[in-house]
């Protein structure tokens, strides 16, 4: 090495470094190439000989299908699952689905989706154990319990322990005389891995002698009252249901003790489980219908269990459903377009927007164009823009362009008011609601008067209307502040199929919500899942709807009978109406002045319209089963009006005349009408009026008689002698025959009401007998049984 410029000679180390550097510069390319080559060889070798570790995210997906027992524990694992689903989403988006463009993963804050995914994943991991408890003295329930458990397992798609993929473990059958109550009825037992939810079924035969049932009931009661224990210690179970066996031979009615202990068990279980009644109490007579009832109960139960498997939730219940206090208070509001006085505070805004004055309404002309704007999420079914009436041409004449709006838009106060009152609004102008009688019949507490008079089952009756709008503002209709009014159809028209599907769906939804309500009977609940009747009378005017005939066709197509009530203000639509099972016209007064005062009609020619409607009814009396409905309001339309009503009957010659006292619910603030309790006639006053009317009819040579009564609803039926056969009234309807005739002869077919007249009116419903179905139990406002007089 040479000395540097300063004449200093480099050290040995410096000389070596210099040498290595020169060497690198000379040979770096071959060195890099050969290193890369060697590394590649090593990589290939390792790849072909080593077992691969699965990718982390894929392993997670596997875990989701078959989780390790410890993978899901209460809250925390849910979070883990969430992360897993996030991870799998990440993988999917990073790897990209087949044919999809790969790209950076976008993270969106879709909390609900994540939560749902997490719950489902959690649900998949958890199992459901049905515990079937029974008691038995003479052994029949024991045998039934064993068979029932096997059948249930099959119906649920076999059990998880047999590897079926179902969440249900094999049902366990437990004899209450051997089971440790402390183990099952103080707090629900936990499985070893804490991965199992419990569902309790109880098969209880009743005994009026001392049996194991007594100590069991005592235990339930004591547990509930024990101050050291929570009042609802069984709340963690998924749900429960009870079925009782009894013997009607010795204990004919529930009041006499039929299935009494099953009822008690059901009641205490509701308290202990914090209202987890998953399906109504079933009851069967072991000698007669026991098996049939049990099988029905099982069908309903399986539906609920399958829903539980998916959602782990019993779903919605009506307010107060399964109340731990088992309070049986019922609201007294009577529906069915039946007239009532109720305390309702009507907001000024609501009134202003929905009502509109007479002048406003009459200014609206024929609708020439349709300009509905479908907001996001609104149904896409094409609405039809029609003004089907012949009235209100003023605007058209003036050349005013009218924008077609929805009758009851979701954002309107009307919508809010109606939904608050329990209506489900379907589309933009139809509604459905469960009436109090449907609820009452589900609980075996009596049906509406239409059961006594015409044989309709209230628990199979749907109350609805395709038009929430009306052309009157009747003094006794408390809804006139909340429902829209008008003389012409000036709104968007929904197609009939949309209405039919919507009301049916919402009706069933509302029935299902009654599942946990105390006292609902399993067999009636099961029957209620098949609508047999439709009362088109809820609120508004059904024949106002332009496609009423198509809509009726849909009801009849499903063998749902139609009870249509109209207000005698739309003669053209009435004349065009096809067959209905029973056609009502509301007759609210006997003369022009009284009608104006009571109905406060929007049409200026209301009296002429009214009379034309009566004439149409007269013409059609051998085609349609026609009914006048009179609503008596004291101080308005009772006094001295019997003669006037008789004249109207003479004009319309209806098949029947229903006379009903207005119903009172609370203090009336029924708008300016100011009706009070003083306007509600006593039943005796209604009876006196009916007797006077019958006399007035006979005086005119009209063949009518008092056929039936339903004192509970303050309702009496006058019928034409056409419906008296061999001295017996035949006010019931043969529904099957009605549908046969309709199918044979068509909706305009030539057949008469007599052709589908039913069997004789039951004795208990005839005049003087009160009209309460003896199968049912009358209760007072607090749900306490009322002894028959």
Ligand X SMILES: Cc1cc2nc3c(=O)[nH]c(=O)nc-3n(C[C@H](O)[C@H](O)[C@H](O)COP(=O)(O)O)c2cc1C
Residues in contact with ligand X by the rule CB under 6 A: 136-141, 205-209, 245-247, 250-251, 257-260, 286
Q: How much of the chain is in helix, strand and coil states, percent to nearest 5?
A: 40, 15, 45
345 touches, from ligand X, ligand SF4, none (C-beta below 5 to 8 Å by class):
none
The Cα–Cα gap between 290 and 282 comes to: 10
Q: Which partner in ligand X, ligand SF4, none is near 205 (CB below 5 to 8 A by kind)? A: ligand X
- CA–chain centroid gap for 193, Å, is 38
Query: Does position 463 bind ligand SF4 by CB under 6 A?
Result: yes
Which residues sit opposite 561 in a β-bridge?
Answer: 533
Residue pair 661/683 in contact by the 8 Å Cβ criterion: yes
For the CB of residue 200, give the shortest distance to ligand X in the complex, in Å: 18
Shortest distance, CB of residue 631 to ligand SF4, whole angstroms?
A: 14
Q: Is 535 in the site for ligand SF4 (CB under 6 A)?
A: yes
| Of 193 and 247, CB closest to ligand X | 247
Provide the CA 541 distance to its chain's centre, in angstroms: 23
Measured CA to CA, the distance from residue 260 to residue 214 in angstroms comes to 12
- Interface with ligand SF4 in residues 331-390 (CB under 6 A): 335-336
Task: State the nearest-atom distance from the C-beta of 201 to ligand X, in Å.
Answer: 15
Question: Minimum distance from CB of 290 to ligand X (Å)?
Answer: 7
Question: Which 148-207 positions form the footprint of ligand SF4 (CB under 6 A)?
Answer: none
Of 304, 448, 539, 574, which one interacts with ligand SF4 (CB under 6 A)?
A: 448
**φ, ψ at 130 (rounded to 5°):** -90, 125
CB contact at 8 A, 77 and 71: yes
Q: How far is the CB of 510 from ligand SF4 (least distance, A)?
A: 12
Q: Is 528 in the site for ligand SF4 (CB under 6 A)?
A: no
State the nearest-atom distance from the C-beta of 200 to ligand SF4, in Å: 33
Question: In the bound complex, what is the minimum distance in angstroms from residue 453's beta carbon to ligand SF4?
Answer: 10
Name the one range near ligand SF4 by CB under 6 A: 55-63, 218-226, 458-466, 627-635: 458-466
| 735 contact partners, CB below 8 Å, separation of at least 6 | 455, 532, 559, 561, 581, 756, 758
Name the packing angle between helices 606-619 and 592-599 (round to 10°).
110
Stretch that binds ligand SF4, among 79-87, 145-153, 456-464, 654-662 (CB under 6 A): 456-464
Least distance in angstroms from the C-beta of 759 to ligand SF4: 20
Calculate helix-pair angle for 683-699, 642-652, nearest 10 degrees: 60
Half-sphere exposure of 88 (CA within 13 A, CB side): 16
81, 304, 435, 560: which one binds ligand SF4 (CB under 6 A): 435
- The listed partner (ligand X, ligand SF4, none) that binds 435, CB under 5 to 8 Å by sort, is ligand SF4
Closest distance to ligand SF4 from the beta carbon of 586 (Å): 14
Name the residue nearer to ligand SF4 (CB basis): 213 or 483.
483
458 touches, from ligand SF4, ligand X, none (C-beta below 5 to 8 Å by class): ligand SF4
Least distance to ligand X, CB of residue 302, Å: 23
From 80, 85, 94, 77, select the one nearest 113 (Cα to Cα): 85
Can you tell me which of 263, 450, 570, 621 binds ligand SF4, judged by CB under 6 A?
450
Q: Which of 452, 487, 252, 266 is nearest to 359 (CA)?
A: 487
Centre a 10 Å sphere on the Cβ of residue 101 and count the other Cβ atoms it contains.
6
Partner whose binding site includes residue 206, from ligand SF4, ligand X, none (CB under 5 to 8 Å by kind): ligand X
Tokens in use for 399?
A: 């050349």
Return all residues near 35 (Cβ < 8 A) that are at least 6 apart: none
If one asks whether residue 561 binds ligand SF4 (CB under 6 A), the answer comes out as no
463 touches, from ligand SF4, ligand X, none (C-beta below 5 to 8 Å by class)? ligand SF4
**How far is CA 575 from each of CA 262, 555, 568, 609, rounded to the nearest angstrom?**
55, 20, 11, 12
CB of 708 to ligand SF4, least distance (A): 15
Task: Return the axis-axis angle of helices 111-125 and 75-95, rounded to nearest 10°.
Answer: 120
How wide is the angle at C-alpha 460 spanned by C-alphas 454 and 461, nearest 5°? 65
Query: Which residue is nearest to ligand SF4, using beta carbons?
Result: 336
Pairing of strands 561-566, 582-587: parallel
Closer residue to ligand X, CB minimum distance, 208 or 703:
208
Question: Of 398-406, 431-439, 685-693, 738-746, which part binds ligand SF4 (CB under 6 A)?
Answer: 431-439
The stretch among 244-252, 292-300, 309-317, 434-442 that binds ligand SF4 (CB under 6 A) is 434-442
402 binds, among ligand SF4, ligand X, none (CB under 5 to 8 A by kind): none
Question: In the bound complex, what is the minimum distance in angstroms from residue 626's beta carbon to ligand SF4?
Answer: 17
Least Å distance between CB 564 and ligand SF4? 11
Q: Which does 247 bind (CB under 5 to 8 A by kind): ligand SF4, ligand X, none?
A: ligand X
Counting every residue, how long is the chain? 789
**Is 461 a residue that touches ligand SF4 (CB under 6 A)?**
yes
**Closest to 246 in 3D by CA, of 207, 277, 280:** 207
CB–CB of 480/531 below 8 Å?
no
Residues 104-115 as b or e (16 or more Cβ within 10 Å = b):
eeeeeeeeeebe
Q: Which of ligand SF4, ligand X, none has residue 138 at its interface (CB below 5 to 8 Å by kind)?
A: ligand X
Q: CA-CA distance, 626 to 603, in Å (whole number)? A: 24
* Residue 273 contacts which entry, ligand X, ligand SF4, none (Cβ below 5-8 A, type-dependent): none
- From the CB of 458, what's the least distance to ligand SF4, in Å? 4
Nearest one of 474, 463, 657 to 567, comparing CA atoms: 474
Residue with tokens 């003023």: 394
Comparison of 216 and 735: residue with beta carbon closer to ligand X = 216
257 binds, among ligand X, ligand SF4, none (CB under 5 to 8 A by kind): ligand X
Work out how close the CB of 150 gets to ligand X at its nearest, in angstroms, rounded to a whole number. Answer: 18
- Binding range to ligand SF4, per CB under 6 A, among 149-157, 180-188, 450-458, 679-687: 450-458
Phi-psi category of residue 182: left, alpha or beta, with phi > 0 → left and psi -120 to 50 → alpha: alpha
3-state secondary structure of 439: helix
For position 584 contacting ligand SF4 by CB under 6 A, the verdict is no
Nearer to ligand SF4, 538 or 632 (CB): 538
Judged by CB, which is closer to ligand X: 83, or 214?
214
In the complex, least distance from residue 463 CB atom to ligand SF4, rounded to whole angstroms: 3
Determine the size of the site formed for ligand SF4 (CB under 6 A): 12
Please report, as residue ranges, which positions from 317 to 336 form the binding site for ligand SF4 (by CB under 6 A). Answer: 335-336
If contact means CB under 5 to 8 A according to the sort of partner, which of ligand X, ligand SF4, none does residue 29 touch? none
* DSSP H or E run through 76: helix 75-95
The set of residues, in sequence order, having a beta carbon less than 8 Å from that of 272 and lying 6+ positions away, is: 185, 220, 223, 224, 231, 232, 233, 234
Q: What is the DSSP string of 635-657?
A: TTTSTT-HHHHHHHHHHH--SEE
7: left (phi over 0), alpha (psi -120 to 50) or beta: left
Q: Which stretch binds ligand SF4 (CB under 6 A): 78-86, 178-186, 349-357, 433-441?
A: 433-441
State which of residues 135, 438, 483, 670 lies at the interface with ligand SF4 (CB under 6 A): 438
Among 458, 482, 506, 567, binds ligand SF4 (CB under 6 A): 458
**Residue 579: which of ligand SF4, ligand X, none does it interact with, CB under 5 to 8 A by kind?**
none
Give the DSSP H or E segment for 19. Answer: helix 12-49
Binding site for ligand SF4 (CB under 6 A): 335-336, 435, 437-438, 448, 450, 456, 458, 461, 463, 535
């Amino acid at each position: 090495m040479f000395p540097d410029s300063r004449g200093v000679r480099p050290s040995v180390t410096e000389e070596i470094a210099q040498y290595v550097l020169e060497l690198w510069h000379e040979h770096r390319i071959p060195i890099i190439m050969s290193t890369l080559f060697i590394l590649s060889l090593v990589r290939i070798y390792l790849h072909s000989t080593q077992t691969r570790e699965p990718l982390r995210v894929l392993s997670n997906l596997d875990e989701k299908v078959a989780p390790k027992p410890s993978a899901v524990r209460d809250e925390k694992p849910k979070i883990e699952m969430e992360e897993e689903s996030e991870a799998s989403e990440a993988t999917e988006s990073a790897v990209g689905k087949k044919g999809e463009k790969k790209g950076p993963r976008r993270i969106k804050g879709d909390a609900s989706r994540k939560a749902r995914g997490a719950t489902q994943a959690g649900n998949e991991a958890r199992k459901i154990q049905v515990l079937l408890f029974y008691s038995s003295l003479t052994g029949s329930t024991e045998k039934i319990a064993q068979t029932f458990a096997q059948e249930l397992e099959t119906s649920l798609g076999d059990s998880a322990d047999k590897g079926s993929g179902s969440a249900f473990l094999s049902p366990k059958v437990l004899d209450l005389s051997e089971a440790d109550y402390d183990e099952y009825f103080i707090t629900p037992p936990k499985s070893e891995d804490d991965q199992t939810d419990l569902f309790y079924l109880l098969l209880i035969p009743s005994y009026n002698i001392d049996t194991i049932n007594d100590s069991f009931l005592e235990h339930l009661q004591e547990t509930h009252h024990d101050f050291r224990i929570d009042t609802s210690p069984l709340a963690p179970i998924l749900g429960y249901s009870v079925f009782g066996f009894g013997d009607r031979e010795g204990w004919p009615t529930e009041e006499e003790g039929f299935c009494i202990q099953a009822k008690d068990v059901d009641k205490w279980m509701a308290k202990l489980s914090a209202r987890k009644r998953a399906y109504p109490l079933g009851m069967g007579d072991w000698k007669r219908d026991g098996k049939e009832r049990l099988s029905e109960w099982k069908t309903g139960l399986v539906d609920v269990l399958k829903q539980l498997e998916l959602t782990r939730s019993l779903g919605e219940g009506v307010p107060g459903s399964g109340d731990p206090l088992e309070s049986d208070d019922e609201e007294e509001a009577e529906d069915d377009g039946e007239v009532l006085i109720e305390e309702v505070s009507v907001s000024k805004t609501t009134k202003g927007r929905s009502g509109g004055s007479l002048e406003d309404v009459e200014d609206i002309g024929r609708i020439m164009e349709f300009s509905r704007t479908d907001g996001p999420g609104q149904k896409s079914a094409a609405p039809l823009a029609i003004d089907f009436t012949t009235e209100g041409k003023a605007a058209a004449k003036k050349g005013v362009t009218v924008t077609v709006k929805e009758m009851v838009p979701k954002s309107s106060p009307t919508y809010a008011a109606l939904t608050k009152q329990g209506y489900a609004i379907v589309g933009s102008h139809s509604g459905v609601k469960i009436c109090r009688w449907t609820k009452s019949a589900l609980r075996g507490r009596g049906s509406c008067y239409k059961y006594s008079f015409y044989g309709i089952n209230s628990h199979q009756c749907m109350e609805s209307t395709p038009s929430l709008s009306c052309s009157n503002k009747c003094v006794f209709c408390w809804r006139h502040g909340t429902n829209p009014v008008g003389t012409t159809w000036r709104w968007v028209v929904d197609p009939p199929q949309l209405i039919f599907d919507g009301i049916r769906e919402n009706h069933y939804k509302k029935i299902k919500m009654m599942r946990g309500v105390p006292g609902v009977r399993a067999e009636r609940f099961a029957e209620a899942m098949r609508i047999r009747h439709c009362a088109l009378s809820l609120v508004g005017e059904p024949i106002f709807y332009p496609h009423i005939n198509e809509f009726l066709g849909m009801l009849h197509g499903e063998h749902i009978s139609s009870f249509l009530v109209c207000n005698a203000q739309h003669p053209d639509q009435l004349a065009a109406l096809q067959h209905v099972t029973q056609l009502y016209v509301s007759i609210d007064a006997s003369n022009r002045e009284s009608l104006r005062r009571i109905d406060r009609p929007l049409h200026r020619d209301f009296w002429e319209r009214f009379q034309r409607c009566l004439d149409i009814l007269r013409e059609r009396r051998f085609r349609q089963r026609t009914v006048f409905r009179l609503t008596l309001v004291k101080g308005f339309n009772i006094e001295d009006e019997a003669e006037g009503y008789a004249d109207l009957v003479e004009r319309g010659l209806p098949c029947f005349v229903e006379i009903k006292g207005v119903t009172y619910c609370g203090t009336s603030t029924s708008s300016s009408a100011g009706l009070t309790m003083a306007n509600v006639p006593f039943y005796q006053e209604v009876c006196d009026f009916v007797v006077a009317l019958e006399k007035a009819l006979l005086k005119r040579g009209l063949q009518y008689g008092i056929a039936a009564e339903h004192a509970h609803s303050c309702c009496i039926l006058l019928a034409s002698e056409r419906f008296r056969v061999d001295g017996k009234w035949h006010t019931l309807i043969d529904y099957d025959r009605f549908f046969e005739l309709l199918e044979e002869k068509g909706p305009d077919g030539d057949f008469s009401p007599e052709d589908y007249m039913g069997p004789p009116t039951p004795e208990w419903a005839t005049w003087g007998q009160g009209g309460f179905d003896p199968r049912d139990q009358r209760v007072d406002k607090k749900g306490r049984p009322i002894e028959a007089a």
